[in-house]
Structure 1
Amino acid sequence: MIIVGIDFTSRPSKSKPLTCLNCEFDGTVLRAGELVEWPSFEGFDAFLLSSGPWITGIDFPFGQSRRFIENIGWPKRWRDYVEFVGSMERSDFRAKLDEYRKPRPTGDKEHRRSTDIAAGSISPQKLYGVPVGLMFFEGAPRLLQAGVTVPGVLDGDPHRIVVEAYPGVLARRLIGRRGYKNDTPKNQTADQANARRDILGKILDGDCVEDFGFNVEAPINLRDDPTGDQLDALLCAMQAAWAWQQREYDFGAPSGLDPLLEGWIADPVTCAKTNKLDSGDKEAIGFGTPDAHSIRRSKKRTVGGTNLVSLPRRILDKAHSDGRPELSKIMFLLGAG
């Protein structure tokens, strides 16, 4: 399968292009291939319209929080409010978000989606610092116009699939909160270079296999880019490959997803944290499939000396439809404790 990781920016240029890493995935190994840079949205738009099959992970927020959408009075379906946003000028969109934020008290000016809370990412309303709000403005309408499929959000061409990636959450699991990139040359440091070396080294050494279920082969020089864009494109590709592995199970989407409004980040641990089980608890189940790894990451409890684990309803329903009714129970028997 063709897997593509794209590091996104709201204003591509020669000095800060969109970075695209083309990969191949055979189910066990993700192999990084050609690296392409687009200094404008022209290349990005052409890619979205290119023939599949392919799946890509792109690192911008695909949606806004339900709280923000309801408060501001925008349409309550993803495709409708994205179409509305797409009709605005960039300056108008910025003004709308500024107007919303200014009268609100500190701590209630910008809201996060459920997936942002799970991933530790900032609000998709953010216009300053890392302007992910502007990335949403530039990116989401392009997905809608291109007619791609965004699992759980938008039904489009089933051979052109796009998932929201967030490389930062994967990088933090590998190296903690060490900085590993900077766009400004004078702020690029040896410590950041060492952090990029550690991220890529851990990936190539198999540190992500437990969460992702596959190995990665990639050139060492991806770590040499001080902006981190090339390395981030690889992390995006890994998250897209994980989603492809889960395609029979909603591409790994959280069972508690607010699908027609907020969207979700395609990352195994992030999706696990946002999964809401039938009991109403948020749990870390790891994978979207009813395999041993998923079960190990599910909530376990002991009753009468027996280990039991809760499984999400979507997994139970899928297991039953696959002819495995023994799994279609709320509690799955793991064995004697």
Structure 2
Amino acid sequence: MSVLIGVDFTSAPRAAKPITVAHGRLAGEEIHLDRLAALPDWPSFDALLNTPGPWLGAFDFPFGLPREGLTALGWPHPDWATLVRHVATLSKTDFRAALDADRLRRPMGARYPHRATDATAHSHSPMKLVNPPVGLMFFEGAPRLLAAGCRLPGLHDGDPMRIAVEAYPGLLARRITRASYKSDTRRKQSPERLAARQHIVAELIAGTALAGLRLTLTPEQRTSLIADARGDWLDAVLALAQAARCARHGAPQFGMPAHADPLEGWIATA
């Protein structure tokens, strides 16, 4: 599947902080960045999910919740779709209250259960509501994937022409550099972070980040990725690279590990 989408997600899209999307193609060893797009609201994101395939998209939000947390919450979870349908019946207030109550029941230092894939990728628990609010990202994102009828390998059999996998741009960025490369806070948007973005982009172009897959882009696109101090455009492109890696693995697993949990989900390239 050569048409690719990389998505840097937010649980509250707006003009000042949109969902950012990298559209591209996989041709041999090259990931071609065709264009970047900003989605300022949910209708534009829903329209993206319902774009006719074939395409493979990597989305930067958790697709699942940890089994341990679901058992404690008492939510139905015989399978992924049943869980997500239940979550879709909850208001955001009720969802937050349930996760807050679970957190407060747990001892300090162990207040957030993790998925197996989080341990591998060193990612945040999807039951966190702040810094970052990945729980709210699951709340907003997963029901939309289900409603759109996308196929999630290992989790849900939907349209085989619209494949969605979970991305984590930070995982790929850390394989290139441990240096911080972005910040939403203006006073932290330093020359050092600018240099880190330059390094990440250079490694993506060189093909050293993902087993020989090389990013191809225009000078203008390169400038945009490096100049964006918040890192939203670069994160979308990192997700695009993770989508390319999954496309390289191909159907039906798209790189899903053999031990992946069919409820919790899995992070691409972890």
Distance 1:205 1:241 in 2: 15
- Residue 297 of structure 1 is matched in structure 2 by none
- Residue 216 of structure 1 is matched in structure 2 by 215
Matching residue's letter, 2:137: M
The Cα shift of 1:249 comes to 5.5
The aligned length equals 264
Find 1:136's aligned residue among 131, 135, 138.
138
The list of structure 1 runs, each at least 4 consecutive aligned residues, that deviate by more than 3 angstroms after superposition, is none
Distance 1:209 1:106 in 2: 37
Contact 2:210 2:245 in 1 (8 A): no
Task: Please list every run of 5 or more consecutive structure 1 residues that lacks an aligned counterpart in the other structure.
Answer: 271-337
Over 3 Å counting, the alpha-carbon distance change for 1:248 and 1:147 in structure 2 is closer
- Residue 52 of structure 1 is matched in structure 2 by 53
The Cα shift of 1:216 comes to 1.4
Matching residue's letter, 1:111: P
- Residue 38 of structure 1 is matched in structure 2 by 39
1:124-173 deviation digits (Å, cap 9, x = unpaired): 00111110010010000000110000011010000011100000011011
Contact 1:27 1:245 in 2 (8 A): no
The Cα shift of 1:7 comes to 0.4
The TM-score, its normalising length taken from structure 1, stands at 0.76
The Cα shift of 1:55 comes to 0.6
- Residue 18 of structure 1 is matched in structure 2 by 19
- Residue 156 of structure 1 is matched in structure 2 by 158
Residue 69, structure 1, aligned to residue 78, structure 2: no
The Cα shift of 1:120 comes to 0.5
1:48-90 deviation digits (Å, cap 9, x = unpaired): 1110000100100110011111221112211111111111111
Distance 1:126 1:34 in 2: 32
Find 1:242's aligned residue among 219, 242, 245.
245
Matching residue's letter, 1:163: V
RMSD: 1.1
The TM-score, its normalising length taken from structure 2, stands at 0.95
Higher relative contact order (CA 8 A, sep 6+): 2
Distance 1:171 1:183 in 2: 17
The Cα shift of 1:184 comes to 2.2
Distance 1:83 1:191 in 2: 44
The Cα shift of 1:209 comes to 4.3
Task: Please list every run of 5 or more consecutive structure 2 residues that lacks an aligned counterpart in the other structure.
Answer: none
Matching residue's letter, 2:183: N
Contact 2:203 2:209 in 1 (8 A): yes
- Residue 226 of structure 1 is matched in structure 2 by 229
Matching residue's letter, 1:44: F
Residue 266, structure 1, aligned to residue 268, structure 2: yes
Distance 1:189 1:53 in 2: 40
Over 3 Å counting, the alpha-carbon distance change for 1:161 and 1:248 in structure 2 is closer
Distance 1:78 1:84 in 2: 10
Distance 1:253 1:46 in 2: 26
Distance 1:209 1:33 in 2: 19
Contact 2:58 2:242 in 1 (8 A): yes
Find 2:90's aligned residue among 85, 88, 92.
88
- Residue 171 of structure 2 is matched in structure 1 by 169
Matched residue SS, 1:102 = helix
Contact 1:29 1:215 in 2 (8 A): yes
The Cα shift of 1:203 comes to 1.2
Quote the sequence identity (%).
Answer: 44
Contact 2:20 2:236 in 1 (8 A): yes
Residue 202, structure 1, aligned to residue 199, structure 2: no
- Residue 111 of structure 1 is matched in structure 2 by 113
